[in-house]
Structure 1
Amino acid sequence: MIIVIQVATQLPDVDVLGTIVPNETTKVFAADGSILAELHQEENRVVVPISQISDFVKAAVIATEDRNFYRHNGLDFGGLFRSVFVDVIRGEGMQGGSTITMQLARNIFLNKKKKIIRKIAEMILAMQLERKFTKEEILEFYLNQVYWGHNAYGIESAANMYFGKPAADLSLPEAATLIGLLRGPELYSPFYQPQRERWRRDIVLRRLLVLTLITEEEYYQAVETPIFLAPRRTLRYKHPYFTSYVVKQLETMYGKDVIYNDGLRIYTTLDIDLQKKAEDTVEYYMMEANRPHWIKGHEVSSLNATQAALLCVDPKTGYIKAWVGGRDFLEREFDHIAQAKRQVGSSFKPYTYLTALSMGLSPGTVIDDSPVTYNTVQGPYSPRNYTKDFKGPVTLKRALELSLNVAAVKVSDIINPSNIIVTCRKLGVQSYLAPVLSLTLGASDISILEHTAAFCTFASGGVRVDPVSILRIEDRNGNVLYRHQIVPRRVFDARHVYALVYMMRGVLQRGSGQGANIPGYDLAGKTGTTNDFRDAWFLGFAPNLLTAVWVGNDDNSPMQEVTGGWIPAQMWHMFMSYALPKLPKEYFPYPRGMVKQRICVAGKGLATPMCPESDVVEELMWENGIYTEQCQAHSILGGLVPALTARSDWERTFFPDTGRIIFLSDVEDEEKPTNNPQSAIIPAAGHKQLDDAKIDVNKGL
C-alpha cells in the first residue's frame, strides 16, 4: 500500500489529457483536394474524431484488446489476475492484462519498460482517466495515439498508408488487418510479412465472431477476402519538384517544428490534370531527344539534351498550374525552375523591344540589319545573326519575328542597355544584368521562375502579378492562418505592352516559333537559343495561360543544334494543345494609340507607287511618331531610274531645255511595231531630286 501511495503522489494530472495536443502530420493539397504530401518527423499522425472511424475498427479493437472495455472502470481484474498468474509461474516481468485505458495511460504519460512500478502507475492513471473522460473519448484518444508501423501513428494515418483510404471507409477485413498489427506492427507488417499478417487478421475476425460482434456470414466472407494494399510510395512527395518548392516556402514562413508537428492544412494552386500532362510532355521529349536524328545530312546518336523544365502559370492570378523542375526527381532533385540560373538567349529580346516601344519606337520603325562593329571596353564587338547572314532594312516587328541579333543590338544601342535593365526590374527580374550591348541577346543568367513571372506581365497587359503556389493555410482545427491575396500592380502602360504582344504574335505566325503555333488561338511568344546550343527556350502565352519550356544539360555541354524553335517549341505545342481547350478562348486587345502605315523599309519612309512591293509593309506606328516623309529611295525619279538603268537596252538622255530625262529602247514590243521605240519621261523635278541626292544619272543609282 505504501508503494501504491508513493507512486500515486508522483503521477501526472490526467486532466491535461484533454489539453494535450499530439504531434500531427501536416498535409499539402493540390487544387482538386488530392494530397501532395504528408509532412511529419517521427510521428505521421492525422487526428480524427471517433465519428470518423469505422465501426468495424472500434469493434475489432475492443474484441482483441479489451473485450470488457464498456464494463470496467479502467481495470479488468480477471484479465489482470490471469496475466499475473502466468507471469509468476514463468518468472517473467508483468505481461499483458492491460486494458485499452491502461495502454492509453502508458502511451501518454509513462515509459514502456515492463516494470511492476510502471504497471501500478498504469492502473492508477487508468482509473483516473475513466473518472474524467467518457468511454468514447478514451477510445478516440487511444485510436489516434497508438503506433501502427512504418511511421504511421493513429488510425487515420494507418488507413491511408496501408489501404489508401480514410479510417471511416475501412471494411471489416481491412479493420481486422489493422487491429491485428497492434501486437507487433513490424512483426506482422503486410508489406513484409503477408502470411503472418493474414494469420493475425483471421485471429481478430475469429474474436469478433466468438463475441457475436459479427455474423458467421460476415466472418467467412471476410476470411475469404484477399488483402489489397495501397502501393507504397517511392517518392516522399507527389509531384515532388512543386511540392518541395512549397515545403521550402512553409519552412521559411513557420519553421520546421510547426510544419512537421502541428498538423497544418496547406492548399496549393497545382492543377493535377495539367501537372500530369506537363510531366508526360517532358518525359516524351527527353526520350525523343535520346534517339538518333538526322541533322544537316548527318545522323547523330542523340541530341545530347538530358534535362528539361516546364512551368505553367495563370498570368491573371499568378497561380502556378504545373511545375516540372527536371526530368526525374529520383535521379536528380535539383530544381531547374527555382534553383538554376541559365542564359536565356533571344528570349530576352522582348525586354529590349518593350523598352524601345515605351521610348517612342514603333513596330514599324525600320532598323538596318547589316554588319556593324562597336568599340567597347572589352574590345571590338561585332554581333552576328544565327543564320550568319543579314536581312537589310527591316521593321522592329520583323526583326523580333526572325530573332535578328544584329537588329536587336542596334536597338539596344539606340535606347541604352541601362534602360532595358530598368524595364526588367519593373517586370520582376532580380538577377544581375550587365549594362552591355550583348545584354539584349540574353547573355545574363536568369531563373526560369523569374523569366516566366516577367512574361506574365506581357500576357496581362502590363499588370504584374507574381507567381504563387500557396492559396491558404489552416491549423488543425480549420482556422485560417494565411490566405493569399492577389495584389496586381501596373508596371507598364497597356499600350506599350500590347504593342509588344502584337509583335510577339508574329513569332508564332511567321517567325522563329512557328513550330509552337496552335491554329484558332491568339498566341504570342519568343524563342531563345544560347551560344553553342547550351540552352534552348520557348516562352509563349494566351491571354489566360502562360507556359515556359527550357531544355539543356546540367553540365552545360552543347546540344546537337537544339534551338528554341525546335524541341522547346514542340514541347510547348504538345502541352498547350492539351491545356488551352480547357479554357475559354480569349484575345489580346488591339494596341491603342497606333495607326497603320504603308512603309517602304528600303527608303525608311512612306511607300510610294514607285516602291517595289517586296520593300513595302503595312505596319503599326505610334500616332505621334508616324512617318511623314515619302520614301526617298523610290521617289518618282529615284524609283524609276534604278528600274530603267538596270536594263542595258535602254538609252537615256537629259534635255535641259525641257527639264526632262527621256529613256528610249528599241526592244521589240508584241503590241507595237519594231520601229516604234518605248519611252519613259520623268519631269525636271526628278533631276532636282537626283541632284539633291548627289546621284550621277549616267552611272545609275
Structure 2
Amino acid sequence: MSPMFSLFKLLFKLGIFCFLIGLISAAGAYYYFSPQLPNVETLRDIRFQTPLRIYSQDHKLIAEFGEKRRTPITFENIPPQFVQALTAAEDSRFFDHHGIDIKGLVRAAFQLATTGHIQSGGSTITMQVAKNFFLTRERTFSRKFMEILLALRIEQELSKEEIFELYINKIYLGHRSYGIQAAANVYYGTDIKNLSLSQLAMIAGLPKAPSAYNPITNSDRAIERRNWILKRMHSLSFINDQQLESAKNEPVSAKYHTSDIELRAFYVAEMVRQQLYEQYGEALYTDGYVVYTTLKSNLQTTANNAVSNGLIAYSERHGYLGAEDSWDITEPQATLQKRLNGIISYGVLKPALVLNVSEKSAELLLKDKQTITLAWEGMSWAKPYKSVNRTGRAPKKAADVLKIGDLVRVREKEGTFHLSQVPNVQGSLIALDPKTGAIVSLVGGFNFTHNKFNRSTQAVRQPGSNFKPFIYAAALDKGYSPASLINDAPIVFHDTSLEGNWRPENSSRKFYGPTRLRKALYKSRNLVSIRLLRAIGIPAAQDYLELAGFDRSKLPNNLSLSLGSADVTPLKLAAGYAAFANGGFKVEPFFIERVEDAFGEVLFTAQPKAACNPCTETEGAENIAPRIFNEQVAFLIYNILQDVIRKGTGRKALVLNRKDIAGKTGTTNDQKDAWFSGFNQSIVTTTWVGFDQPKTLGRREFGGTAALPIWIDFMREALKDTPENPPKPPAGIVSVKIDPQSGKLAYPGQSDAIYEFFRRKNVPTNYAAPAGSGKSNVTEELF
C-alpha cells in the first residue's frame, strides 16, 4: 500500500468522522433549538403596522396618522420586473431553493472560520422573513441556526408568493417608508405599478442599506447600486441589452414626497382622530384603520377658499398691518433662500422677501428660487392700518408700502401676484345635509397650520339676531301668525339679572311702531323680538330651544335671550337651522360615514336618524329623527326667512338668483360677532366671523358684510347645477289676502293687499277697514 493511498484513506475516514460529528451536532442543535421556535403559522395572520388614513366621502385622502408610512400590497399587484430586480439583488435562487442557499451558507461559514465574524450572512429572502418577524438582529451562531430552521419551516407552511409578499411589505426603505408601495409614494409620488425599470431597480437596492443607497440623500451610491442590480438582471436574462442601457442612462428622478394629501380638511381630520382614539387608543395609529368621512371634496375645497378669501378681504379692507419681519439681504443668497424656504405658507398666502423697490413696483423672492415682480395694482390697496375703524392715507408709490428686506405675504389672483397678509380675524363655515345631519364641509378657522382651534365646534359665541328665528318659531307654535302685529316702540326694562335698567334699541336706532311678525323678522327688529319673548314666556322659550338641541345652561334667563345672548357653537346653530329646512326634524350632525380595518372589513357604518318629509312617520320610526317644530311652523319660518334674502338684511344673496334659499344675518353688540345661516331643502350652511378674543370687528362690519359674502361664495358652488326646490305648503297651511298695515283680512277690492300664509286655525277673522272710512285698522296691537 502506497503512502499516498494511506494518506487518502486517513483523510477519507477523517472526513467521514467530521461529517458524522457535524451531523450529530446539527441534530443536537436541532433538538435543542426546535422547541424554542415560534409558530410560523402566525405569519398568515400578521398585521402590518399601518397608519390611520382618513378620506372624504368620494375617496380623497384627507390625512394620515402614524409613525410608519406603509401601504400593504399583494403579490399579484407587484410588477414582475420588481420581483426580478429584488431577487437579482437579494436572492437570485429564491424561487428554486427550499429556504436556504447552500452556496451562500458555505461562503458565510468560510468567512466565519477565517475572520471569526459573520460578514455576508448568506441569508435568503425566506431567512430574512424569519429574522424580521421572529428574531433579533444580533450576529451569533445560535441566532443564525434558528434563522435557518425557521426558514425551512416557513417554506413548508407558506408559498413562495406569500413569503415574498411578507418580505416586501415589512422592510424599511428610508424616510419613514415601510414596504415597497410606501417607498414608491415617498420617492416618486406614485404607485409602484407606475414606475420605470430604472426606478424599480432603485427601490430594489434600498433593503441592503436604506441610508447608504438613498437616491435623495446619497444619489451617487444609489446610482451605483441601481446599475449593479440592472447588470445582475441582465446576467440572469431578465432584461435585454437595450433595456439595460436605457435604464442605466435614466436620470435620477427621486425626491421626497409627503403623504399624497388630496383634500385640505385638517379640522375634520382632527375631529376624526379625537373621536376614534377614545375607542381604539394607540392601536388607531398602527392597525391600518381606514375612515371615510361625510365630506364632499368639491364642497370642502369651496369652503376652504370661501373662508380664506372672506377673511383676507376683511383684513385688507381694514388696512395693511405691515411686514412680518425685516431681514438683512446682504447675507448670502443661499442663506436667505434657505431661511425663506423654512417659512410656512398658509393656504394661498406665500412668504416673500423684498429684494428691490421701484417707483410703482417691487422685486420679491419666493420659495424655491422664484423671483416675481409685484405690480402697483397688487399693492395699491395697502393703506396703513390705524385701528379697526380707521386707515391711513392711500399709498402713492411702492416705497410707501414696502422696503428692502421686508418679509411679506403674497397671493396669486387671476394670474398675477398681490400683496396680502395673514388675517388676525378668524372665521368658520359648516355645511350639512338637513335630511340626515351629515357634515359635507367644515372649516374651523383661517388655516389649521396657523391655528388648530376649531371654531366650528369649539368656539362658544353669541349668535345675535341669527338666533331670532327660533324665538319666532316658538311664538308661531303658541298661536301667533306671520301677520300678528307687535309694537316696535321704545321700552325700558328693569331686570336684576341684567344689572339695572335696559333700554334696547334697533340697529338703526329708529322705531317703526306696529309691525307684522313677518316683517319684524326679515328686518330684524329687536324690540319686536323682545316683546314676543316676553309674551310667550322665557321658560317656555327655553323649553323649546332645549328641544331644538341648545344647551339650556347656556341660555340666559332674561329677555336678552330674544336678541341672541345665548352661548352657542356654529355647529349647534347649523343643526338648529336644519329643522327649518327639513320640515321640523332634529337631526344629529355626524362626520364619520364608515370605518374599515386594514383588510377592508367594515367595523362601523353610520345609521343616522333622518328627517321624514314627506312620509308616514309611523313606519320605520326607529330611523326617523324626532320632531322639534310642527311641519306648518317649519314651513312658515322657512318662508319668512326667504324674505330676509328677497327684501331684508340678506339681500346680497340675490346674486345667486334662486328662489328656494332662505337665511338670517346676525350681529352682536359692538359688532363682535358676524353671522349668516342660510339654507334650502338640500343644504344648510352657517358662517361666522370674529376675533378669538372678542372685540369689535369695526363699526361697518355686520353679518351682511362680513359673514354673508363667505356664505354666498360657498353656496354659489354648492347649489350649482342643482334644480330649485322651494318648499311647498304642507297640509293645514292656507294663503289669504291681508291688509299689509293691520294684518287683518283685506277688504274687497283692496289694491295694496298682499298674500300671507297662515295655519288654518290662525287665519284672521276680521276685515280691514277700507281706506278713507275713518276707522283705524290697528286695533289689535300687542303691548
Same fold (TM over 0.5): yes
In 1, the alpha carbon distance for the partners of 2:532 and 2:703 equals: 22
- Offset of 1:472 from its aligned partner? 1.9
Q: 1:598 aligns with which of 718, 738, 746?
A: 738
Q: 2:649 aligns with which of 493, 502, 512?
A: 512
Alignment check: 8 A CA contact 1:312 1:545 kept: yes
Residue 763 of structure 2 corresponds to which residue in structure 1?
626
In 1, the alpha carbon distance for the partners of 2:262 and 2:219 equals: 24
- Offset of 1:192 from its aligned partner? 3.5
| 1:424 matched to 2:545 | yes
Paired residues for 1:323-402 under 5 Å: 323-378=442-497, 379-402=500-523
- Offset of 1:242 from its aligned partner? 1.2
In 2, the alpha carbon distance for the partners of 1:200 and 1:278 equals: 48
Q: 1:250 aligns with which of 259, 264, 276?
A: 276
| 1:406 matched to 2:527 | yes
Q: Which amino acid in 2 is paired with 1:525?
A: G
- Offset of 1:406 from its aligned partner? 1.2
Unmatched 5+ stretches in structure 2: 1-24, 320-386, 394-420, 611-624
Residue 196 of structure 2 corresponds to which residue in structure 1?
171
In 1, the alpha carbon distance for the partners of 2:44 and 2:759 equals: 72
In 2, the alpha carbon distance for the partners of 1:411 and 1:633 equals: 29
In 2, the alpha carbon distance for the partners of 1:65 and 1:387 equals: 81
Q: 2:598 aligns with which of 476, 484, 493?
A: 476
In 1, the alpha carbon distance for the partners of 2:659 and 2:573 equals: 23
SS in 1 for 2:483: coil
Q: CA offsets, 1:283-305, max 9 Å, x none?
A: 11222122135999964799976
- Offset of 1:631 from its aligned partner? 4.9
- Offset of 1:371 from its aligned partner? 0.3
Taking structure 1 as reference, are residues 312 and 223 closer, same or farther at Cα in structure 2, changes over 3 Å only? Answer: farther
Alignment check: 8 A CA contact 1:305 1:551 kept: no
Residue 49 of structure 2 corresponds to which residue in structure 1?
23
Taking structure 1 as reference, are residues 7 and 300 closer, same or farther at Cα in structure 2, changes over 3 Å only? Answer: farther
Deviates more, 1:417-426 or 1:230-239: 230-239
Residue 682 of structure 1 corresponds to which residue in structure 2?
none
Taking structure 1 as reference, are residues 574 and 559 closer, same or farther at Cα in structure 2, changes over 3 Å only? Answer: same
SS in 1 for 2:434: coil
Q: 1:542 aligns with which of 674, 680, 684?
A: 680
- Offset of 1:224 from its aligned partner? 3.4
Residue 184 of structure 1 corresponds to which residue in structure 2?
209
| 1:36 matched to 2:62 | yes
Alignment check: 8 A CA contact 2:747 2:770 kept: no
Residue 651 of structure 1 corresponds to which residue in structure 2?
none
- Offset of 1:403 from its aligned partner? 1.1
SS in 1 for 2:316: coil
- Offset of 1:241 from its aligned partner? 0.8
Taking structure 1 as reference, are residues 193 and 449 closer, same or farther at Cα in structure 2, changes over 3 Å only? Answer: farther
SS in 1 for 2:458: coil
Deviates more, 1:270-279 or 1:378-387: 378-387
Q: 2:425 aligns with which of 300, 303, 306?
A: 306
SS in 1 for 2:442: strand
| 1:239 matched to 2:361 | no
Alignment check: 8 A CA contact 1:84 1:95 kept: no
Alignment check: 8 A CA contact 1:366 1:394 kept: yes
Taking structure 1 as reference, are residues 363 and 63 closer, same or farther at Cα in structure 2, changes over 3 Å only? Answer: same
Taking structure 1 as reference, are residues 364 and 197 closer, same or farther at Cα in structure 2, changes over 3 Å only? Answer: farther
Residue 676 of structure 1 corresponds to which residue in structure 2?
none
- Offset of 1:632 from its aligned partner? 7.1
In 1, the alpha carbon distance for the partners of 2:33 and 2:640 equals: 84
TM-score by length of 1: 0.84
Residue 339 of structure 2 corresponds to which residue in structure 1?
none
Alignment check: 8 A CA contact 1:458 1:498 kept: yes
Q: Which amino acid in 2 is paired with 1:325?
A: G
Residue 719 of structure 2 corresponds to which residue in structure 1?
580
Deviates more, 1:561-570 or 1:84-93: 84-93
| 1:498 matched to 2:619 | no
Residue 467 of structure 1 corresponds to which residue in structure 2?
589
Alignment check: 8 A CA contact 2:485 2:517 kept: yes
In 1, the alpha carbon distance for the partners of 2:59 and 2:388 equals: 49
| 1:442 matched to 2:467 | no
Taking structure 1 as reference, are residues 604 and 581 closer, same or farther at Cα in structure 2, changes over 3 Å only? Answer: closer
SS in 2 for 1:569: helix
Alignment check: 8 A CA contact 2:52 2:285 kept: yes
Q: CA offsets, 1:318-344, max 9 Å, x none?
A: 222111111111111111112221111
Q: 2:580 aligns with which of 458, 461, 470?
A: 458
Q: CA offsets, 1:130-170, max 9 Å, x none?
A: 12222111111111111122222222333333333334444
Q: How many corresponding residue pairs?
A: 636
Residue 668 of structure 2 corresponds to which residue in structure 1?
530
Q: CA offsets, 1:326-385, max 9 Å, x none?
A: 111111111111222111111101110111111111111111111011222233222111
- Offset of 1:110 from its aligned partner? 0.6
In 1, the alpha carbon distance for the partners of 2:268 and 2:216 equals: 29
| 1:162 matched to 2:162 | no
- Offset of 1:467 from its aligned partner? 2.0
Alignment check: 8 A CA contact 2:61 2:263 kept: no
Taking structure 1 as reference, are residues 189 and 410 closer, same or farther at Cα in structure 2, changes over 3 Å only? Answer: farther
In 1, the alpha carbon distance for the partners of 2:206 and 2:310 equals: 45
Deviates more, 1:556-565 or 1:92-101: 92-101
Q: Which amino acid in 2 is paired with 1:327?
A: F
- Offset of 1:533 from its aligned partner? 1.5
Alignment check: 8 A CA contact 2:456 2:571 kept: yes
| 1:570 matched to 2:570 | no
- Offset of 1:453 from its aligned partner? 1.0
- Offset of 1:462 from its aligned partner? 0.8
Taking structure 1 as reference, are residues 125 and 352 closer, same or farther at Cα in structure 2, changes over 3 Å only? Answer: same
SS in 2 for 1:182: coil
In 1, the alpha carbon distance for the partners of 2:214 and 2:520 equals: 66
Q: CA offsets, 1:515-558, max 9 Å, x none?
A: 22321341000111112221111111111112111111112232
In 2, the alpha carbon distance for the partners of 1:459 and 1:102 equals: 64
SS in 1 for 2:490: coil
Paired residues for 1:189-208 under 5 Å: 189-208=214-233
| 1:45 matched to 2:45 | no
> RMSD in angstroms over aligned alpha carbons?
2.9
Taking structure 1 as reference, are residues 265 and 296 closer, same or farther at Cα in structure 2, changes over 3 Å only? Answer: closer
Unmatched 5+ stretches in structure 1: 641-688, 690-701
In 1, the alpha carbon distance for the partners of 2:562 and 2:212 equals: 65
TM-score by length of 2: 0.76
Alignment check: 8 A CA contact 2:318 2:388 kept: no
Residue 151 of structure 2 corresponds to which residue in structure 1?
126
Paired residues for 1:640-651 under 5 Å: none
Q: Which amino acid in 1 is paired with 2:670?
A: D
Q: Which amino acid in 1 is paired with 2:207?
A: L
In 2, the alpha carbon distance for the partners of 1:559 and 1:336 equals: 17
Taking structure 1 as reference, are residues 422 and 18 closer, same or farther at Cα in structure 2, changes over 3 Å only? Answer: same
